[in-house]
Structure 1
Amino acid sequence: MPVNAALKAYLETRRSIPAFQMQEPGPSRAEIEEMLTLASRVPDHGKLAPWRFIVYQGAERDRISAELAKVAMANKPDLADDMIQVEKTRLTRAPVVIAVVSRAAPHVKIPEWEQVMSSGAVCLNLLMAANALGYASNWLTEWFAFDESVYPLLGVKPGERISGFIHIGTMKMHPGDRARPDLADIVTFSGE
């Protein structure tokens, strides 16, 4: 089978760009819809689509970030000024932020763990779809991904969980590569 050189080169150099190193322009609505279509092409045993998307853009990112900052300050009244500023920018670092929401639940045939992994695969596909359309991307899960008290603010329904927030925008500068694990430390060949 011939090697797809472009895909191989992409996978050899793929890396996430920190959200704070992104800027406008962000993707258009049509580009976002194309990314979400591509992201949805993942292993999905039972065709359950055990995930959904919430797209945060425009002024809504500012409003939600301000509310998240209030919750963070209420939870930690001694929060340092620099961390308060970080909290106020949670969803404004990139032009578009997309929550991948897991709807994994007990099922008569499909293990819940497989549904959770399908949601994780959607996150990775969304990163690659954003890159394929020429945008930088980063998959983050921060405190508010795990704090169910803010789920109504984020549009997350009871019984759902956040698999990740995918930040998408234009790269300000390329940060270079980062250290990767040595295969000898992470691979076991069985049967040799």
Structure 2
Amino acid sequence: MDALELVINRRSQPRLTAPAPAGEALHNIKRAALRAPDHAALKPWRFIVCEGKGLDKLGALFEQSAIDNDKTEREIQRAPQLPTRAPMIIVITTAYQEHEKVPQVEQFASASCAAMAMQMAAVAQGFQGMWRTGDYAHCNIVKEGLGVSADNEIVGFLYLGTPAQDAGPKPELEPQDYFTVFA
């Protein structure tokens, strides 16, 4: 798959199974993250790879968050199972740096670009992924459990694995509906 085909046909794949990327494939995914646009070379991101027992621990954090945030009994029961929807999750976090020319919003954007770069690197190697956020990405219990400081953020959870089924075509959007010319 060439680069242009990869980016213009990008789509998320929610149905993932083993195997997860490993070895050189995982190394390539990590290297792709480190090539995200990064004004002033601040490296304002960090990544936590969860597999196996790590997914169980992440599920326990989700469950504790659901309990402490008065979620419904159904949500509490479902919470520990959420990370098991893929054989690997990479948690993308910010690592904000003080800089007079690079505000936090730009650093968050850099971490977001790293997430997409990882997903694209996974797809280029025959894997698939889904970038998820939701309440757990904004929960202090989850942040603390993952070692994310209070002044940083969870940008998202990148679920990675092998596609369990074909996701089918994604509806084509018309560029003229979203782009204008400022002349």
Aligned residues: 183
1:178 counterpart (153, 170, 173): 170
**Aligned pair in 2 of structure 1 residues 178, 80: CA closer, same or farther (>3 Å)?**
farther
Match of 1:163 among 130, 148, 155: 155
- 2:27 equivalent in structure 1: 33
Shift of 1:30: 4.0
Which one of the candidate residues 144, 147, 166 is aligned to 2:139?
A: 147
Q: CA deviation at 1:69?
A: 1.4
1:41 and 1:88 map into 2 onto residues whose CA distance is 33
Query: What SS class does the counterpart of residue 165 from structure 1 fall into?
Result: strand
Instruction: For 1:1-192, list aligned pairs within 5 A.
Output: 6-18=2-14, 21-76=15-70, 79-81=72-74, 83-191=75-183
SS of residue in 2 equivalent to 1:122: helix
Once the two structures are superposed, residues 86-106 of structure 1 have per-residue CA deviations (whole angstroms, 9 ceiling, x without a partner) of: 312122111110011112244
Runs of 4+ in 1 over 4 A off after TM superposition: none
Q: Secondary structure at the match of 1:138?
A: strand
Q: Is the alpha carbon distance of 1:75 and 1:38 closer, same or farther for their aligned partners in structure 2, counting shifts above 3 Å?
A: same
List alignment gaps of at least 5 residues for structure 2: none
- Cα RMSD of the aligned pairs, angstroms, is 1.9
Matched-pair contact (CA < 8 Å) for 1:54–1:155 = no
Which runs of 5 or more residues in structure 1 are unaligned? none
- The TM-score normalised by the length of structure 1 is 0.86
In the superposition, the TM-score normalised over structure 2's length comes to 0.90
Deviation at 1:144, TM superposition (A): 1.0
